[in-house]
Amino acid sequence: MDFGIAGKTALVCGASKGLGFGCAQALVGEGVNVVIVARGAQVLEDAAAKLSAVAAGAPGKPWVKAVAADITTEAGRAAVFAVQPDFDIVVTNAGGPPPGDFRDWDREAWIKAVDANMLTPIELIKATVDGMAARGFGRIVNITSSSVKSPIDILGLSNGARSGLTGFVAGVARSAIAAKGVTINNLLPGAFETDRLKGTMEGSAKKTGQDFQTVWEARKKTIPARRFGNPEEFGAICAFLCSQQAGYMTGQNILADGGAYPGTY
Ligand code: NAP
């Protein structure tokens, strides 16, 4: 299927690896120019090289630019918009907050989580949505978490901060921009095989005194699909949400979790 977005330009945050990279790869494959962002310059450059190889075989041979910056800071976002002022597609993403016990989190920990997982996506939406509406096309996909629908006890910072973003998106997606060809959706990963998941599992293993492999395999068994997701399949869903065909889907929370969420709706 041709998604009809070749020649568009996307910002993909947190894209040097994991789910963000999966999204950037799928978009480049559709012929979308991408600006990728992450803090670590070397890993980001390596990711840009991989994406450029994909771009060479993609429709219209899109370009790939890398900006090494912390997207949760004003300076980081300014660096991105200095490279490319307008975007047709924005994928918001940053590292998830650390796991732990809520009794240990002070105001600073909460502000950091809210900054990364709520206020940064809101700032990026604010900076891009009116330009998208004026041009009559826009797609924003926020990478959130299945924890928004089904909270995870040790990830309270994530449960809380991302729920705030979810509430904001529910309103803004249905505002006047909806009639201007702009959609905003949240994509909710369950367990995907990335460094982030490995880090979380290492934490659980340590906490329970089990070895990593035991915890890793046991976690798979809790998922109806009996496996973890991979960033390629996550990226494909993201690219679809950015497609012309998905123009009538907005304000939605789309789970990709191998059936792990047990609810009917
Ligand atoms: P990952 O493999 O650790 O990758 C995170 C990416 O984001 C890296 O490229 C990282 O590069 C970048 N990043 C982190 N903080 C950043 C910042 N402040 N500014 C710019 N870039 C930043 O993580 P992932 O598994 O892909 O997860 C992506 C998001 O989905 C996270 O918010 C995570 O909590 C959420 N999630 C993941 C899963 C899962 O199973 N994987 C499940 C639920 C939710 P640098 O560190 O170099 O900046």
Tell me whether residue 222 is exposed, middle or buried, using C-beta atoms within 10 angstroms of its C-beta: 0 to 12, 13 to 18, 19 or more.
exposed
Token pair, residue 183, equals 């959609």
Say what the alpha-carbon torsion angle 129, 133, 135, 141 is, to the nearest 10 degrees: 50
Please give the share of the chain, as a percent, with pLDDT higher than 90: 92
Residue 203: what pLDDT?
83
- What's the average model confidence in pLDDT over 53-64? 98
Choice from 17, 114, 152, 202 to test ligand 1 binding pocket (greatest atom count within 8 A of CB): 17
Q: Is 94 in the pocket of ligand 1 (CB under 6 A)?
A: yes
pLDDT in tens, 9-43: 999 999 999 999 999 999 999 999 999 999 999 99
Ligand 1 centroid, distance to 188 Cα (angstroms): 13
Asked if residue 172 has pLDDT above 90, the reply is: yes
Q: What amino acid is encoded at 230 in this protein?
A: N
Judge whether residue 92 has pLDDT over 90. yes
State pTM to two decimals.
0.97
CA of 19, closest atom in ligand 1: 26
Band of the pLDDT at 200, cuts 50, 70, 90? confident
Q: Alpha-carbon distance 187 to 167, whole Å?
A: 14
pLDDT band at 204 (very low <50, low <70, confident <90, very high): confident
Q: Is 191 in the pocket of ligand 1 (CB under 6 A)?
A: yes
Q: What are phi and psi of 140, to 5 degrees?
A: -120, 130
Angle at 215 (CA atoms; ends 213, 217), nearest 5 degrees: 65
